[in-house]
Structure 1
Amino acid sequence: MPAREAGEVFGPRMTLFADVLSVGLATAVACLPLLTAPAALSTACAVLRGTRGGQPATAGRYFALLRRRLRAGDLAAGALAPAGALLVAADLALAGAGLPGGAAFAVTAAVIGAGALVVGLRACARPESLTDWRTAVRGAAGDAVRDPGGSGLVLLAVATACLCAWMLVPLAFLAPGPLALAVTAVDVRRGG
């Protein structure tokens, strides 16, 4: 493990942790309009992936990259994400209303929703998401099928982020950073 540089208070691991938290906070701010959520998470994954090449993972670099990439495809992906979440929530509400076969339908809707969430998050982690969402989603769908362990890790990362946000609400603003780090690590693990 490399030694601390002169004037450095914490070691390199703590610096990466702080960078992840600052990128997470920047991502949370960028996600507030909801339409920018996929682009914001994709940009966070790109910034964190850049640390392997020695690029800094700072909020300034994050916002510079995000400003350059917001386009119609990013906004369309941003509209699709909440629409899908509302559809799954409505399906689960209808299934819980006591309709015949509602329990089986609720399980099916939950599995489909979890699968769509995994594919969406894995698409955000792919480098192609910076330029072409369709290619990223196709690749992520293939990765989700070929790498069920990675898909399980993505679901665990989402569950952990939700649990942290539920237990301590201010952590909700920091959760996108570790979530982006987790999905990026799953993508890097798949690729390398």
Structure 2
Amino acid sequence: MRTNKEAGEIFGPRMTLFADVLSVGIAVAVVSLPLVTLPAALSTACAVLRGVREDRPVTAGRFLVALRRRLRPGDLAAGAVALAGLVLVLADLALAGAGLPGGPAFALLAAAIGTCAAVVGLRACGRPESVDDWPAAVRGAARDAVRDPGGSGLVVLAVAAAALSAWMLLPLVFLVPGLLALALTAVDVREKEVAPRVGV
């Protein structure tokens, strides 16, 4: 990755990357409005951002070109599964809050299961395999979640920071997906770089 500012550049490459991440984030937010396209959009954003290491440009145009090849039945099925899981967790939490016996314990259990499933799903979006093989990406993400709890904690913190940013300033909702994709990509790259050193 280029780190020096070239002649005529107003901002250095790191600021350029930040601006590109924001433009990709807006594209992800717009494409994800049908909700079932969210996993494919987030996965494509991570793949585009991973190209920074090979000095490939990170642009909303490149994201849209890559996404056009992605919206296959498997990608839409992954989105439908994610949406169904979210609806199920929200319904469980609503039932637990309705005064059922053992409601608080059930709500805690449902929230824990939902959080674990969300972490695995998000880590799967950050893996390169998600571009063409969702089951392999989910299996790898589940292994990573167990083997690398620190990375899973970083994913939870990234989601919390994204939600807090969107809550504090509503227009940031359209920028948050790019920052979340950058965090997921960084966690995946970090896990692959840390694992060999741990094995030494």
Q: What TM-score, normalized to structure 2?
A: 0.94
Tell me the residue number matched to 1:178: 179
Deviation of residue 3 (structure 1)?
3.6
Identical pairs, percent: 73
Q: 1:139 to 1:3 in 2, by over 3 A?
A: closer
- 1:118-129 counterparts in 2 under 5 A? 118-129=119-130
Distance in 2 (alpha carbons) for counterparts of 1:37 and 1:99: 33
Structure 1 unaligned spans of 5+: none
Partner Cα distance (2:3, 2:43) in 1 = 30
Tell me the residue number matched to 2:39.
38
Residues 86-109 of structure 1 show CA distances to partners (whole Å, capped at 9, x for unaligned) of 100000011111111111111000
2:127 is equivalent to residue 130 of structure 1:
no
Q: Distance in 2 between matches of 1:183 and 1:91?
A: 27
- 1:4-83 correspondence runs (5 A): 4-83=5-84
Cα pair 2:151 2:187 within 8 Å, conserved? yes
In the alignment, the residues of structure 1 paired with residue 150 and residue 3 of structure 2 have an alpha-carbon distance, to the nearest angstrom, of 31
- In 2, Cα distance between the equivalents of 1:170 and 1:138? 35
Q: Which runs of 5+ in 2 are unaligned?
A: 194-200
Q: State the distance in 1 between where 2:144 and 2:26 align.
A: 28
Cα RMSD, aligned residues only: 1.0
| CA distance in structure 1 between the partners assigned to 2:161 and 2:30 by the alignment | 20
Q: Helix, strand or coil for the counterpart of 1:7?
A: coil
Distance 1:133 1:3 in 2: 37
Q: Distance in 1 between matches of 2:3 and 2:58?
A: 19
Q: How does 1:80-91 map to 2 (within 5 A)?
A: 80-91=81-92
How many Å separate the matches in 1 of 2:4 and 2:34?
41
For residue 61 of structure 2, what is the amino acid of its counterpart?
G
Report SS of the residue matched to 1:69: coil
Deviation of 1:13 (Å): 1.2
| Total equivalences in the alignment | 192
| TM-score normalised by length of structure 1 | 0.98
Deviations 1:113-155 (A, max 9, x none): 0001000000000000000100000110110011111001000
The answer to whether the Cα contact below 8 Å between 2:24 and 2:60 also exists between their aligned partners in 1 is: yes
Letter in 2 for 1:55: R
The answer to whether the 8 A contact 2:126-2:184 is kept is yes
Amino acid at match of 2:52: T
Compute the displacement of 1:2 (Å).
Answer: 4.1
Against the structure 1 CA distance between its residues 104 and 81, is the aligned structure 2 distance closer, same or farther, given a 3 Å change threshold? same
SS in 2 for 1:55: coil
Counterpart Cα distance in 1 of 2:34 and 2:89? 21
**Partner of 2:198 in structure 1?**
none
